[in-house]
Amino acid sequence: MAEDIKTKLGRYKTAPFDSRFPNQNQTRNCWQNYLDFHRCQRAMAAKGADATPCQWYFHVYKSLCPTSWVTTWDEARDEGTFPGKI
């Protein structure tokens, strides 16, 4: 399974279609993938497992989210004021 994920990451170009977010506005898709990435990393760290599968969410949110949003969210997480549930 890890090899399959590494193969997909190697071929990654842009975020694929996600049927949960069928509209042109991809704001919620960006937000959800940002949360999923950090949730995945936390879960993998708790298990002591390799966090490579989490990189999929990272690539998706990096291609969808404006850099300014990500910077703001990262700063809020560092300060402990992030509004999302991670």
pLDDT digits (tens, 9 = 90+) for 58-83: 999 999 999 999 999 999 999 999 99
Length of the chain (residues): 86
What top-level class would CATH report for the domain 26-85? mainly alpha
The domain ranges of the chain are: 26-85
Alpha carbon distance 42, 17 (integer Å) = 26
pTM of the predicted model as reported, rounded to 2 decimal places: 0.84
Q: Could you report the per-residue pLDDT of 21-64, keeping only the tens digit for each? A: 998 999 999 999 999 999 999 999 999 999 888 999 999 999 99
